[in-house]
Amino acid sequence: MTSTWERWSRRCIGAVLSAIMIFIVWLAYTNGHWRVVGASNESVTGITLQNVDSDGNPMRFTYGEPPKRVIVTYPGATELLIDLGLSDRIVGTVAPYGEEPERYRDIYSQLPLITNSYVPSREQVLAMQPNVLMGWSHHFTPAALGDVRQWYERDIGVYIVPATIRKNQPTLESAIYPFIDDMGRLFQIPDKASAYKSELEQRVQTVTNRVNRWTYKPKVIILQAHGHSTYSLYGPVYLVDDIVKKAGGQNLTNRQISMVGPERVLAFDPDVIVYVTVSQSNRTLREAEAIAELKADPNLRNMRAIQEGRIIAVPFADVNNGNGRVVDALEKIAQGFEEEQNK
């Protein structure tokens, strides 16, 4: 039979273990400070942005003033800052995904590029003394730049671009427009950001009005070729899925299919293929070149859409840069669908 002393001892041990677990959780979420790291301090005035960590958990950071020194590890954020007239705030960025459109080319070419591929070292970042880091969600993991909380502790803000958060199903409304609003708030240029967003919304509405008159709703796959007989099919975790649907198409892929052989692609029989093209030697393929490339693929040449030439080629950056360029892709894809129904 258990004695009173034994029962009391077990309760004490349980209480101590519970206290230790609470202490560990407290350290993990506060780094030793009596508030959640990244949470806004109500007694501090400034600009507070709601964002996330690399796992999509909500985080907040308060900036004392609009950032003057920005490091960008995602080309789409660099392009948006250029669109909003903020390129002078960029102290380091990464190379674009291929050839830049003419409206960005001159300014982008004058920006200081980070040499370590697409992710700088932590030492590089600290040496550049930024106020804020902007990039992909996967850049803020232990294997790359580290958790956002580590930068918050150094009073350096982190902004993860909404379109790069893969746990969601990004749309223009959930990823692009909030990104623009956040930049307007962060840099205290709300009118300029609002005007930019309104222009995009009007262009999207024009496409929507046209698409709503159609009876044609093509079945589509969104295909990217990686060479060596491997392919990816884009699903709802990427923004291009929303673009294709807004353009009037039905994506046959309801989940992401990455780095697979041709047999997985041949399992589909789409009316149209939206072909995502990757730059070669830093040059974006022209549409005719991209279509010819896909038609020449011996693995896929028997697909009905390829035999009939029902291919719409869009550059990788247009659908993956998470900024206003996605509307360029939307307009092009909708135009392609319209041409296909009129054949």
pLDDT at residue 332 tops 90: yes
> Which of these, 220, 203, 252, lies nearest to 337 by C-alpha position?
220
Q: What is the per-residue burial (b if ≥16 Cβ within 10 Å, else e) of 200-235?
A: beeebeebeebbeeeeeebebbbbbbeeeebbbbbb
Arithmetic mean of pLDDT over the chain: 88
Res 211: pLDDT: 96
pLDDT at 34: 34
Average pLDDT for residues 2-20, to the nearest whole number?
Answer: 58
Q: Do you know the residue count of the chain?
A: 343
The answer on pLDDT for 29 being more than 50 is no
State the virtual CA torsion across 194, 196, 198, 200 in degrees, nearest 10: -150
pLDDT digits (tens, 9 = 90+) for 188-246: 999 999 999 999 999 999 999 999 999 989 999 999 999 999 999 999 999 999 999 99
pTM for this prediction: 0.84
